[in-house]
Structure 1
């Protein structure tokens, strides 16, 4: 969409990528506490959804789409939402699947936020469980390596399932 201030808004969102996770951890915790998201699945999932990387990646992809496709649909009588649902969204499948894989990978490997946001043992994520095999003086390396292998299997399965879409999105996002 084209509107006044579009580039300024994107610049502000893009600038949030420069803020490191430890800096945002305390305000994120306070916001999650106010919204009663701590010790819940929503508290693990919802804060991770809002990420400037996804906006950046999708913007680069959408800037690469030919404007003529949208104009042709408008000439045929489509409204804005119909152009999006019937023209743009089907072309966006590779980038959306790649973005889903990237977000799932980042959230699967999350350690600090689940450590801060949950106290319930039923909500323990894989990497916190692996860290529980270590103590101050000893480590059960056989358990740690077995658990790390089991924790890596879903990521490998996900990558091999969506490998074609990931490669396609990377290949087409660089074209102009």
Structure 2
């Protein structure tokens, strides 16, 4: 029969596990509440939103809020602009960071470490500092109010290069030595060995980059001036004016704006978490 000490140990373990789940559930509820409030508010009437009595669920489900989004802003064109900008930036950064990360991780050349840390130091420069000289440069190139003004400055990034470099450094040197013995060059090693081994890392970085580029606000606001070139984050700010904020339409537009990110994350959730875990593991 189990002793008293064994029963006490099992009881303490059960209590600790229960408390842990309670804390996690409370934390998850706190994080999820603003998201749920946004979804339900997108279906509410203005009277429900500004009611003194708090109600999470709408009294009547008003689907016309989603239709009104297209009346306030050119939502379709802004959505398309966001998709184009986010996709091109993501693909470009994955490609350029793979090349640069491989060079900094596995190629030996004079000044490699100095160049890497100098490139990494640019992360300390805030976007607000770079935006004026970048605007003047893009204006001289006649790229203002085009997709290139939103894409070109972000086709490579220090964080992406750092992320890739650290991942490539975790691959055992024996794999590179064996590939070179078989006559493989750097290009073949990168595309045939390194990238297949780090596909979870690519997926993780791709999601990070897509989320960041999808949510860009200040850069598109400054670099574009026509409604046809504006992106979704800029469009969402247009629901706020001198007459107040149309909260129902704003929440409806926000739900539609974040849908691609949420869908992409849930589809790639397992690979995403594996990529984050593998980034910090030394082979």
Report the TM-score when normalising by structure 1. Answer: 0.94
For the pair 1:173 / 2:279, whether they are aligned, the reply is yes
The aligned counterpart of 1:140 is 246
- Deviating more after overlay: 45-54 vs 10-19: 45-54
Offset of residue 137 of structure 1: 4.0
3-state SS of 1:158 partner: helix
For the pair 1:163 / 2:269, whether they are aligned, the reply is yes
Post-superposition CA distance 1:61-116 (Å, at most 9, x none)? 11111111111111112122211221112112111222121111111101000000
For the pair 1:14 / 2:115, whether they are aligned, the reply is no
The aligned counterpart of 1:41 is 147
Give the distance between the partners of 1:52 and 1:81, measured in 2 at CA: 22
What are the within-5 Å matches in structure 2 for residues 2-81 of structure 1?
2-81=108-187
Q: Which runs of 4+ in 1 moved over 4 A?
A: none
Give the greater-gyration-radius structure (CA): 2
Where structure 1 has 5 or more consecutive residues not aligned to the other structure, the ranges are: none
Alignment match of 1:150 (pick from 235, 256, 260)? 256
Residues paired across the two proteins, number: 176
Post-superposition CA distance 1:110-151 (Å, at most 9, x none)? 100000011121112111111111013411111111111111
